[in-house]
């Protein structure tokens, strides 16, 4: 069952995908083969996450967009498209397909 959630957006960077080793990943900058974006239950959880990434982050620099997330805590590429975020996806879909090819599979 799909759950209404929120994804974090910064128009010049795209949709926030998540972070690893202190680096944030965004659809328009480097989607790193991601198949989904992190989805928050509410704005408070998203703002808390923004501040955890960097204490100097100003939540006013971001916006939240509602999506129906297919996976608990994550919005798939199709979920993001259904939410009207196509223009912000950059190379996410092509990059995900490129990274999901299994070499040597039969």
- Per-residue pLDDT at 95: 83
pLDDT digits (tens, 9 = 90+) for 67-90: 999 999 999 999 999 999 999 999
* Claim: this prediction has a pTM higher than 0.85: yes
Structure confidence at residue 103 (pLDDT): 55
Q: Let me know: does 38 contact 7? Beta carbons within 8 Å.
A: yes
DSSP letter, residue 86: G
The band of 32, judged by pLDDT with boundaries at 50, 70 and 90, is confident
Evaluate the CA torsion angle 59, 12, 86, 16 in order and state its sign: negative
């Amino acid at each position: 069952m799909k759950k209404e959630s929120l994804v974090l957006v910064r128009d010049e960077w795209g949709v926030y995908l998540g972070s690893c080793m202190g680096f944030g990943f965004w659809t328009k900058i480097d989607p790193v083969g991601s198949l989904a974006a992190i989805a928050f239950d509410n704005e408070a959880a998203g703002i808390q996450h923004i501040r955890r990434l960097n204490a100097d982050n100003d939540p006013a620099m971001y916006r939240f967009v509602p999506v129906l997330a297919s996976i608990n805590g994550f919005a798939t590429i199709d979920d993001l498209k259904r939410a009207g975020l196509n223009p912000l996806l950059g190379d996410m879909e092509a990059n995900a397909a490129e990274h999901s090819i299994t070499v040597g599979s039969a």
